[in-house]
Homo-oligomer: A and B are copies of this chain.
Amino acid sequence: MPSYKAPLRDITFVAQELLDLSSHYQQLAGCEAPDAATFAAIVEEGAKFAEQVLAPLNAVGDQHGCQWQDGKVSTPPGFADAFKRFAANGWLGLDKDPAYGGQGLPPSLGFVNHEMVCSANHAWGMYGNLTGGAISTLSEHADAALRQRLLPPMIAGRWSGTMCLTEAHCGSDLGLLRTSARPEADGSYRINGSKIFISAGEHDLTENIVHLVLARIEGAPAGVKGISLFAVPKRQVDEAGNLGQPNGVSCGAIEHKMGIHGNATCVLNFDGATGYLLGEANRGLNAMFTYINESRLAVSQQAQAHAEASFQGALTYARDRLQMRTTPRLRADQPADPIIGHADVRRMLLTQKAYAEGGRMLAYTCAKGVDLLHHGATPGVRQAAARRLALLTPIAKGFLTETGNEAAQLGIQVFGGHGFIREWGMEQIARDVRITAIYEGTNTIQGIDLLTRKVLADGGEALSELLAEIETFIHTTSASADLAQALHDRVIAWREVSEWLRDASATDANLVGASAYDYLMLCGYTLIGYLWLRAACVAEQALAAGSEDIAFYQGKRETARFYLQRLLPRASLHETLIRTGSDNLMRISDSAFAR
């Protein structure tokens, strides 16, 4: 079992040396501005909690799973206690409004902590993370009275939250949903219907759960334009915020899953439950996108966190395990050398490292964007951040979950046969991370969202801004010319293939779908290439300035080289595949699949 150690050195590198969060915090409005020391102190506290409290519960959670009996769900031993401690330490309210009990720190601090939570215990982390998304959604869309009733106990961790979208017949296609809402005289609604795949939908961690439920008000238009969003507490809450009777929400079953066994995935039945409309009627999907966007970034971090955990496990094993001789010999005193000396093992470890650290760079870049979205000092800053974040979110969600899965598989592979054995912990990582490529919108959905709404719909403006930023960096960088050139070629290709897609998709309705996956991956590989080139420059500068942390910075430089030479070329493959068009996918008839 790999013992998790929070990667504090790299967190500091990305947060402060690469992205200069301390200066960034000074530019924000309406939140605290922690200096580097405060930032580090908070992160270190989070690291301790992840390492000492959450990581030891990870295998426990996998093996015990959640148990359902007569509508009640019990979580694995230790989960409830850890949640109480987490809440008591204020983590749920880290970036929340002090008016409701939050600490008012910038959201990016929550991102830094979230990675550590997820590396230590993904399934456990979902209870708190989903609560955070519900708090954000209520903060933005609930009226003042409802906020006052619901937010304080949620921020304090006495209540939790969920998002209820999926029904048995509709996942990606929410326009089909059937859960209904009937208006009552008092302004509330009666919710009826059944939802599936509700993570943290029922459990024993908190005394109440506030479900955010998409439903259709009776008589509303069909499709997505007739969907509204409601807050539906598991137990009724009076106007003073006191808990009352059960509210007609019951857990009909929990799923048996490939991974994240410690998180209860529930069938929830709503039988005349009282719900409170959030935002405008029939605009529920828009309101839910507060939650969905936040969750998509959270999922991207879950996957990146698994890449980190898998890398740590594989690296430790590769340093310990002696098999065959390497060039040069590393342990002449032993009958064989540690496998970290073998080139192909290094290929796997470097791929993991490049994804774990590259993903961290992208995650924190997004986190900085979330800070600016909520706390930018001017509307212009907030709008620019929104535009950039809209572009980055599907890339982060899609690319980091694909590469997080790849990293987890490589972690198993480095362990050889031991990777397949439960006690070593590597296979749990691969099972847990698998869901990240599916939930909060499959990666097909991410690719289509990216291409349709984030690139083609705005005339490519957000993309042009990003590409211009990257090209400006390339032209002014001190990085190795060959590496910068490799990236520049890919940036030019990114622009050109985007323009080609814009033109060609005008006459080919299937081209967006046919290109969605490859375009998503092309964007991801190139974007992370940009971040690695920046990291290499920071490292070079530190080495030139005489830093004593030589191994760390050399590692950055070499990992950047590895990334740009051995992973970035995949962007070129994806470009080739996009340009083959949709015909080779669409021509085969259903019957010709021949099974």
Contacts and interface: CB of A to CB of B under 8 A. Distances in A.
Contacts of A422: 255-258
Given A170-B323, A343-B512, A412-B438, 12 more contacts: A256-B422, A259-B420, A316-B595, A327-B509, A344-B444, A416-B442, A420-B438, A551-B592, A555-B593, A569-B573, A569-B577, A570-B573
A525 B342 CA distance: 25
Nearest to A580: B565
Contact of A585 (B343, B409, B510): B343
Contact of A576 (B345, B551, B558, B569): B569
B413 A438 contact: yes
Q: How many copies does the complex hold?
A: 2
Contacts of A559: 588
Chain A at the B interface: SS class: helix
Interface in A536-595: 551-552, 554-555, 558-559, 561-562, 565-566, 569-570, 572-573, 576-577, 580, 582, 584-595
A434 B5 CA distance: 27
A34 interface: no
Nearest to A255: B421
Interface centre among A9, A258, A259, A554 (most CB of B within 10 A): A258
A173 B438 CA distance: 39
Given A409-B405, A437-B413, A592 B173 contact: no
19 contacts: A257-B427, A258-B421, A316-B595, A340-B593, A344-B444, A344-B447, A347-B585, A405-B409, A413-B438, A413-B443, A420-B434, A430-B434, A431-B431, A552-B592, A558-B584, A558-B587, A561-B584, A561-B587, A572-B576
Contacts of A196: 417
A258 B590 contact: no
A584 B566 contact: yes
Interface string A316-357: 100100111001001000011000101111110110010000
A587 B256 CA distance: 45
Closest 3 CB pairs of A and B: A555-B592, A343-B513, A258-B427
A565 B335 CA distance: 48
Interface in A404-433: 405, 409, 412-413, 416-417, 419-423, 427, 430-431
B409 A435 contact: no
Contacts of A176: 323, 335-336
A49 interface: no
Contact of A412 (B434, B573, B591): B434
Contacts of A591: 551, 555
A427 B260 CA distance: 13
A584 B567 CA distance: 11
Nearest to A590: B340
Contact of A514 (B259, B347, B423, B434): B347
A517 B348 CA distance: 10
B588 A554 contact: yes
A311 interface: yes
Contacts of A257: 420-422, 427
A134 B322 CA distance: 29
Interface string A383-422: 0000000000000000000000100010011001101111
B345 A444 contact: yes
A197 interface: yes
A420 B258 contact: yes
Contacts of A565: 580, 584
A439 interface: yes
A208 interface: no
A172 interface: yes
Nearest to A327: B509
